[in-house]
Amino acid sequence: MRHVAKLMAVSAFAGLMTTTAVFAQTPKDTVVMAKQIDDIITLDPAEAFEFSGVEVGANVYDKLIGVDLANGNKLIGELAESWTVSPDQLTYTFKLRPNVKFHSGNALTAADVVYSIQRAVTLNKSPGFILTQFGLNKDTVLEKVKAPDANTVVITVSQPFAPTFFLNCLTSGVAAVVDSKLVKANEKDGDWGNAWLKLNSAGSGAYKVRSYRPNEQYALDANESWYKGAPKAKRIIVRHVAEPASQRLLLEKGDVDMARNLSKDQLASVKDNKDVEIVQGDKGYILYLGLNQKNPNLAKPEVREALKWLVDYAAIEKNIVEGTYKAHESFLPNGFLGAIGDKPYKFDLAKGKELLAKAGLANGFTVTMDTRSVNPITDIAQAIQSTWGQAGVKLELIPGDGKQTLTKYRARTHDIYIGQWGPDYLDPHTNAETFAINENNGEDAKSKTLAWRNAWDIPEMTKKTQANVLESDAAKRAAVYGDIQREHQKVSPFVIMFQQVEVTAERKNIKGWVIGPSSDTNFYWTISKG
């Protein structure tokens, strides 16, 4: 026993002493990121709908249409060299770029485009509705999406939708073009290759998936023969690092080149580091409160307005979310068609009290808020609790995990929900639909939008918002969205407070990283390492 213990102690010490850390700076042509990637449940573009999974797809697959980030998110052709819209706005004809090849070496043809759309519509996973809302479904898709020749794709939609709406939807991940030959070769029990594509890639994009280990990391290799030219960084490695403080340490030591999830505190401390730079980009995510109209107090219009006056937007921005969120009070995020910058509300205690008195609640009332136990949500909720308290509104916070609060919200059993909403695709209809359409306020509703979740019955606004999706004149369409948002700000049970700003801290030798408005537009191919 004695000798064994001695031996063990000696060997442990010897081990410790020889641990001169092997300093492995990141390789020269490889860019390494630390990021929270445990939200990925699949890499299949027809299924991926989480931030990180969609971001992988954006770099691995090409789509017919893309957006020009440098030019106000203008629509540009990618795999489609050009397109035309029929005068009745029902038929779209796309001419494909010639000589594009998949990573496998297979040529990309119109048949692949048809197959990809048919696949996404038939699988009809989470993002499937982005395509099926145009009247495509598994029975009719081959009649509505056709390839008259190898370079032409013709798509027929069910209603004369605004062309911007349809084309914007084609920029999302679900419309990515997959290598039909490769996918078919990996099909199992008629699953359209879904099981295989969850972990592998079959694209033509800037990068291909080299390896992916869930909850651990993914590695991408550059596609040297990409049609836009070889990407600058030969390899991208993204490691899952859950803890922002650990991300910061890795970045400052140079063990990673980019840290993607630093919080406000960490950002403040890396600002002084000469080797680190900060890149920001407006994200489409909106931070808001949803006031359930089933609660009789919250259903009073004066109370809804009062609560909007009682949030101290400026103090929260400065003290809690500086650099990661900015003030924004309307449902369309900056950068979207029809977005407005109006901020009618600021903290005004007197006005809030006056409105509460008008509602017959001069002494306030008690209400609960389901709060995810993560920052900054908890801190923001506490700040709101404090200012509402000054007006007599007693706010009880119910802490919970994300999925737990969400389950309650979806069942409409909350009083107030604090959370984020991100657009599903790059068209204003995505947010307009969820914030301003509620077709049926009953429990049996088919479409359970955010307006529905807060039991907000709005037949008029629903009609107006639905009609706008058929407006072919983009300028007119934008103006109507402006009107709807201003009305929405006045009467809605949504206290819209902030828009997210995505922040990356990166080593000084990293150049060219641009944060797009959605995960669909976070492209790695522009990143270079000096």
Return the C-alpha torsion angle 248, 523, 376, 322, nearest 10. 80
Rounded Cα distance, 483 and 495, in Å: 18
Residue numbers 195-224 binding another protein by CB under 8 A: 195, 198-199, 213-216, 219
Contacts of 459 by beta carbon, 8 Å cutoff, 6+ apart: none
Cite the beta strand spans of 269-393 per DSSP E.
Answer: 276-291, 325-327, 366-372
Position 30 contacts another protein (CB under 8 A): yes
**109-117, 119-127, 156-164, 340-348 -> range binding another protein (CB under 8 A):** 119-127
Instruction: Give the distance, in angstroms, between the CA of residue 503 and the centroid of all CA atoms in the same chain.
Output: 14
Rounded Cα distance, 510 and 486, in Å: 41
Residue choice 144, 208, 240, 529 for contact with another protein (CB under 8 A): 240
Position 397 contacts another protein (CB under 8 A): no
Residue choice 245, 278, 362, 374 for contact with another protein (CB under 8 A): 245
Position 408 contacts another protein (CB under 8 A): yes
**78-86, 180-188, 403-411, 498-506 -> range binding another protein (CB under 8 A):** 403-411
Closest CB 493 distance from another protein, rounded Å: 19
Report the residue number, 424 or 471, with the smaller CB distance to another protein. 424
Q: What would the x/- binding string for another protein be over residues 426 to 465, using CB under 8 A?
A: --------------------xxx-----------------
Position 511 contacts another protein (CB under 8 A): no
Closest CB 490 distance from another protein, rounded Å: 27
Position 70 contacts another protein (CB under 8 A): no
CB 79 within 8 A of CB 62: yes
The encoded tokens of residue 181 equal 């030959």
Please compute Rg for the chain using Cα positions: 25
Counting Cα atoms < 13 Å in the Cβ hemisphere of 341 gives 2
The encoded tokens of residue 13 equal 């010490």
Closest CB 110 distance from another protein, rounded Å: 28
Pairing of strands 235-240, 152-156: unpaired
Q: Within a 10 A sphere around the Cβ of 105, how many other Cβ atoms?
A: 9
Report the residue number, 243 or 275, with the smaller CB distance to another protein. 243
Q: How many chain residues bind another protein (CB under 8 A)?
A: 64
**Closest listed residue to residue 80, CA positions, set 198, 166, 207, 3:** 166
**Closest listed residue to residue 115, CA positions, set 59, 166, 183:** 183
Q: Within a 10 A sphere around the Cβ of 354, how many other Cβ atoms?
A: 16
Report the residue number, 116 or 200, with the smaller CB distance to another protein. 200
Give start and end residues of each alpha helix (H) in 256-372: 264-270, 301-309, 313-319, 349-358
Rounded Cα distance, 226 and 102, in Å: 9
Closest CB 497 distance from another protein, rounded Å: 19
User: 493 preceded by cis ω (within 30°)?
Assistant: no
Residue choice 279, 299, 406, 514 for contact with another protein (CB under 8 A): 406
CB 250 within 8 A of CB 256: yes
Report the residue number, 220 or 355, with the smaller CB distance to another protein. 220
Report the residue number, 237 or 395, with the smaller CB distance to another protein. 237
Report the residue number, 5 or 350, with the smaller CB distance to another protein. 5
Residue choice 407, 463, 483, 486 for contact with another protein (CB under 8 A): 407
Closest CB 18 distance from another protein, rounded Å: 7
- Report phi then psi at 131, rounded to 5: -95, -40
Residue choice 79, 237, 340, 496 for contact with another protein (CB under 8 A): 237
Residue numbers 167-196 binding another protein by CB under 8 A: 195
**126-134, 151-159, 264-272, 308-316 -> range binding another protein (CB under 8 A):** 126-134
Residue choice 82, 84, 246, 386 for contact with another protein (CB under 8 A): 246
Position 55 contacts another protein (CB under 8 A): no
Residue choice 187, 221, 255, 354 for contact with another protein (CB under 8 A): 255
Position 242 contacts another protein (CB under 8 A): yes
Provide the residue type at 56 as one letter: V
DSSP state of 134: T
Closest CB 38 distance from another protein, rounded Å: 6
CA geometry: angle at 53 spanning 320 and 133, to 5°?
Answer: 100
Q: At what angle do helices 474-491 and 429-436 cross, to 10 degrees?
A: 30
Closest CB 39 distance from another protein, rounded Å: 9
The encoded tokens of residue 229 equal 């030219």
Q: Which residues bind another protein (CB under 8 A)?
A: 1-2, 5, 8-9, 12, 15-16, 18-24, 26-27, 30, 32, 34, 38, 41-42, 49-50, 124-129, 195, 198-199, 213-216, 219, 237, 239-243, 245-246, 249-250, 252-253, 255, 401-404, 406-408, 410, 424, 446-448
